Chain A
Amino acid sequence: MVGGDIHVVHTPRSQKAGPARLSLKDLSLPAEGQFSVALKSISLDVKGGEVVAIAGVAGNGQSELFDAISGERTLADAGMLSIDGRPQGTVGVNARRRAGAAFVPEERLGHGAVPAFRLSENVVLTRHSSDASLVKSGLLQKSGAGDVSERVIKTYDVRMGKVDPEARALSGGNLQKFVVGRELDREPGILVVNQPTWGVDAGASATIRQAIIDLSRQGSAVLVISQDLDEIFEIADRIAVISRGELSDAHPAGELSLQQIGLLMAGAHEKKEGVRHAAVA
């Protein structure tokens, strides 16, 4: 049973992590406009069976990193991003989905879901290219979308007032369960989630975190970008910190203290000219 009354998240420690399923190698991306952050030479491996979390203060390049990984902004060099060993940096979001990846952005309404679309239509939004039961030779299969939507609603306990409502009619927590559940339902090999439980009630948070951990324990690689340190310590096996577009090394969660994370958030790992700051831990 998922999402009971007692919100305890069970985290069986992963015994052995598999090979790297999502690899970032020297990923760089220029800033887009004056309020955007440039990504500088980011490297990270996420292995099958583990949850890696990226901590950081908001506005340090998290959404840019999400866009770069999801393929909403493509990269200059294919090798900057590999999925299951295959370079995918220059292809778009749907090709990366077909390669086995799934993405959940920070904004639910207007990014992860279209507010005016019904839930079944929002299923088509992210799964039209990877799920043959939704689109056949260019034609929408409404029954297929309805089936997926029903399954997600049932499995992740999405509560709502009427059958197949518009996305904007759901509460934040229920819509987040739907948006995360829509991707988990594909059983993706790689899952990237930006702020999985931001602005979500405690019950829904527990459901979502448990589902993310369960996915990783089945052998998927999970990357979580979050500002919520409690959440990170609850679910992450390894933690890296982003500040001003640079990413620190990822450290096992048990070896990092809050103080060390605080130092990294302040930019201790950033490469500055002349001075090389001492690495933490």
Chain B
Amino acid sequence: MRLLLEKRSEHSQLMTVISPLIAVALTLVTGGFMFLAMGLNPFEALYVYFLEPLKFFWTFAAEDFWPLEQLAVKAAPLVLIGAGLAVAYSANVWNIGAEGQLTAGAILGAVVPVYFTDWQSPLTLIAMLALGAIGGMLWAAIPAFLKNRFGASEILTSLMLVYVSQLLLDWLVRGPWRDPAGHNFPQTVAFADWQVLPVFGESSLHLGVLLAVIAAAALAFMMARTLKGFEIKTLGVSPRAGRFAGFSRAGSVWFCLLLSGGLAGLAGIAEVMNTVGQLQPKISPGYGFTAIIVAFLGRLNPLGTLIAGLALAISYLGGEAAQVSLGVSA
């Protein structure tokens, strides 16, 4: 007779809360030791890295400048991408190439300003956003296909495609898409004002911010209340039970990669439209990678990525502040 020893305890609520804290603490300690080994004062370095950004926050608030606006604009791409990744990771689909899908989305979306420079219509913005999402989806479809057809790890293929997309962008802005009137700078024509997302009132809050909030809420609803969300969670925690429930593993790979890729592409084109204003060799400060942290910090809950996205956006603002105040490149 086979003996079955089955674990009875449910997942401890305490551990769920504590384990990320332990991880953060260990990270700080390890980081501190590294600084110490390099002959730097670890406390000073940690202070600059983590607390300086908050100080920056207060300084600007005192000058009657509304930094939450900037924060929301920086958080928007992180949330948009992070919410999609949270869904994908819940299904154990490890798309870590969001930075590449962001780039692909920006490239395809920029087809409108580059080739249809004078096309001015209410459809212009919709076409650009749609092309951006499609670009991200196409780029994410490659790892999805390779995973389902050949079993190639999506972790590695999606990551490799980041480098490929960035080199493609580099080639485009230095070659065929370079603005002929741009004094030989590697950049496309600047987007016209009808190729830019509308902003709310006088602020810099653009439509992309709203899209990020909507996406996070919609995906949270999908995960909590729909059969599709149930399918994704089931395949993530128990593939065998997922098969027994009649859910398709290959289908979830397609769904998760296209969803997270599409959102990354959308973030890419929105970022290019409203923050960068044209295609350049570098269009993102690594939003696609930071969004991986956002997804995990948000406990793989799309709504959690809203908070996590804002938290990590502070570090971007802090980096800009440090660049200004200390004259160092962050």
Binding site for B on A (CB under 8 A): 70-72, 92-94, 97, 103, 105, 107, 109-117, 121, 124-126, 128-129, 135, 138-140, 165-166, 168-172, 198-199
> Known interface pairs A110-B241, A172-B4. Does A116 touch B11 (Cβ–Cβ under 8 Å)?
yes
Q: Which 5 residue pairs of A and B lie closest in terms of their CB atoms, listed nearest first?
A: A94-B246, A199-B4, A93-B246, A114-B238, A114-B241
B226 and A139: CB pair below 8 A? yes
**Interface status of B245 (Cβ within 8 A of chain A):** yes
**Chain A proximity of B133: nearest CB distance (Å):** 22
From A70, A121, A135, A172, give the contact of B244 (CB < 8 A). Answer: A70
Interface centre among B2, B3, B10, B228 (most CB of A within 10 A): B10
Q: Determine how close the nearest CB of chain A comes to the CB of B209; give it in whole angstroms.
A: 28
Residue of A nearest to B8 (CB): A169
Q: Number of residues in B with C-beta < 8 Å to the partner?
A: 24
CB atoms of A139 and B225 under 8 A apart: yes
- The residue that B227 contacts in the complex, of A107, A117, A139, with Cβ under 8 A, is A139
A166 touches B10 (CB 8 A): yes
Known contacts A125-B234, A139-B225, A140-B226; A111/B240 CB under 8 A:
yes
Q: Specify the chain A residue showing the minimal Cβ separation from B234.
A: A114
Whose C-beta in chain B lies nearest to the C-beta of A111? Answer: B240
Q: Are B244 and A105 in contact (CB under 8 A)?
A: yes
Tell me whether A168 and B243 are in contact (CB under 8 A).
no
Q: Within 8 Å CB of B246, what residues of A?
A: 71, 92-94, 97, 129
The reply to whether B227 and A168 contact each other, CB–CB distance below 8 Å, is no
Contact with A along B284-315 (1 / 0, CB 8 A): 00000000000000000000000000000000
Partner of A168, one of B1, B8, B234: B8
A and B contact pairs by CB, cutoff 8 A, 8 listed: A97-B246, A109-B6, A110-B240, A114-B241, A124-B227, A124-B230, A172-B6, A199-B4
Known: A140-B227, A169-B9. 6 other contacts (CB 8 A): A70-B244, A71-B246, A135-B227, A139-B226, A168-B6, A169-B8
- Contact call B10/A125, Cβ cutoff below 8 A: no
- CA A12 – CA B226 in complex, angstroms? 44
Q: Are A169 and B240 CB-contacts (below 8 A) given A93-B246, A121-B230, A124-B230?
A: no
- Choice from B3, B230, B240, B245 contacting A140 with Cβ under 8 Å: B230
Which residues of B have CB within 8 Å of A171? 6, 8
Name the distance in Å between B138's Cβ and chain A's nearest Cβ: 26
Selected contact of B241 from candidates A70, A111, A139, A166, CB within 8 Å: A111
A169 contacts which chain B residues (CB < 8 A)? 8-10
Are A115 and B238 closer than 8 Å at their CB atoms? yes
Using A166-B11, A169-B10, A199-B2 as known contacts, say yes or no to A112 and B227 having CB atoms under 8 A apart.
no
- Could you tell me the distance between the alpha carbons of A113 and B234 in the complex, rounded to whole angstroms? 10
A140 touches B8 (CB 8 A): no
Within 8 A of A (CB), among B219-267: 225-228, 230, 234, 237-238, 240-241, 243-246
What's the nearest-Cβ distance from chain A to residue B299, in Å?
A: 14
Contact B245 A138 (CB under 8 A): no
Contacts of B234 in A (CB 8 A): 114, 117, 125
Report whether B10 and A126 are in contact in the complex, using a CB–CB cutoff of 8 Å: no
Smallest CB separation, A176 vs chain B (Å): 11
The answer to whether A72 and B244 have CB atoms under 8 Å apart is yes
Q: Specify the chain B residue showing the minimal Cβ separation from A136.
A: B227
Shortest beta-carbon distance, B9 to chain A, in Å?
Answer: 7
Closest residue on chain B to residue A93 by CB atoms: B246
The answer to whether A138 touches B226, judged by C-beta atoms less than 8 angstroms apart, is: yes
On chain B, the residues within 8 Å of A138 by CB distance are 226-228
Q: Is B7 an interface residue (CB 8 A)?
A: yes
CA distance A109 to B11 in the complex (A): 15
Q: Which residue of A lies closest to B231 (CB)?
A: A128
**Chain B proximity of A71: nearest CB distance (Å):** 8
A115 CA to B1 CA, complexed, in Å: 23
Q: Which B residue's beta carbon lies closest to that of A128?
A: B227
**Cα A97 to Cα B246 with chains together (Å):** 10
Bound-complex Cα distance A259 to B9 (A): 44
| Nearest Cβ on chain B to A230's Cβ, whole angstroms | 12
User: B67 to nearest A CB, angstroms?
Assistant: 40
Task: Give chain A nearest CB distance to B236 CB in angstroms.
Answer: 10
B245: nearest chain-A partner, CB-CB? A125
How distant is A104 from chain B, measured CB to nearest CB, in Å?
10
Q: Which of B198-228 contact A (CB under 8 A)?
A: 225-228
Knowing A94-B246, A138-B228, A166-B11 touch, does A107 contact B240 (C-beta < 8 A)?
Answer: yes
A256, B131: Cα distance in complex, Å: 70
Cross-chain contact A113 with B243 (CB below 8 angstroms) = no
Q: Which residue of A lies closest to B4 (CB)?
A: A199
- Chain A residues with CB under 8 Å of B9's CB are 169
